[in-house]
Amino acid sequence: MKKTFTHILLAGTLLLITAVSCKKDDAPAAVVYYEKGDQMARPAINTVFVDAPAKDSFNNAIPMKMASLFSTKFKARLLALNAGYTTNALGLTADQLTGVLVTDVLNVSTTGNTKFFTSTSDYLTGRGLSDDVIDNELILLFGGPTGGSNPGLTTDNVGANDKAFSAAFPYLASPW
């Protein structure tokens, strides 16, 4: 009898310990998926014009709302970077350039012209692998009406890719 009582006491203790240690919410945690949002349609635009506290808001903004949410900040940053800004090589005023840059999407030319920086009617519509996108952006920001103002600010001094691009898809240069 003493042995049975000991077994019952031991079993009851184990049951109590198990019951106390189990919580009602011990169900497996829900799987949480994270999505990285990053608006980088045009190289360096987000990096230059969006300050750190607003990065997440900008990166997750719907493109059609970017202008209403960020135009003021973009224009202020443009004028802070180039206080003497009047127009650029495409003839765009500060308001016009801000309007072009704030909606960070890739534009597509339907005329077949794939140059990044060619004319007022066909600008920022794509680029070839060998186009110097950063220099073109710097010219638009600092080059003034002729593109030749502020020569120290209109180039990153990187002349070309260090390897030839492939003639076959995907056209990129081979790594190292």
CB-CB neighbours of 73 under 10 Å: 16
Instruction: State the Cα–Cα distance between residues 92 and 50, nearest whole angstrom.
Output: 20
At 66, list the tokens. Answer: 């970017």
Give mean pLDDT in consecutive 10-residue pieces for the chain, a chain of 176 residues.
Answer: 58 55 64 74 88 92 94 97 93 93 81 56 67 86 92 92 89 84
Cα–Cα distance between 60 and 56 in angstroms, integer? Answer: 6
59 vs 66, 69, 78, 88, CA distance in Å? 10, 12, 19, 27
| pTM for this model (two decimals) | 0.71
137, 81 Cβ separation under 8 angstroms:
no
First-to-last C-alpha distance (Å) of the chain: 82
Q: Is residue 95 part of a domain?
A: yes
Q: Are 96 and 74 in contact (CB under 8 A)?
A: no
pLDDT at 132: 83
Q: Which residues contact 138 (CB under 8 A, 6 or more apart)?
A: 153, 154, 155, 156
Cis peptide bond prior to 170, omega within 30° of 0: yes
Which pLDDT score is estimated for 105?
A: 86
pLDDT at 11: 55
What pLDDT does 51 receive? 93
User: Number of structural domains, the chain?
Assistant: 1
pLDDT value of position 43? 80
* pLDDT at res. 134: 87
Q: Look at residue 19 and tell me if it is in a domain.
A: no
Q: Tell me, yes or no, whether 100 lies in a domain.
A: yes
DSSP reduced 3-state for 21: helix
DSSP secondary structure string for all residues of 92-109: -BHHHHHHHHHS------
* 79 located within any domain: yes
Q: Is residue 38 a part of any domain in this protein?
A: no
Query: What is residue 87's predicted lDDT score, i.e. its pLDDT?
Result: 95
Structural domain for 143, as ranges: 45-153
What six digits make up the tokens of 135?
């220099």
pLDDT on residue 127: 72
Token representation of residue 131: 């186009």
pLDDT of residue 49: 94
Q: Is residue 28 assigned to a domain?
A: no
Query: Is 75 a domain residue?
Result: yes
| Residue listed under structure tokens 């009898």 | 1
With respect to residue 161, please indicate whether it lies within any of the assigned structural domains: no
| pLDDT reported for residue 45 | 87
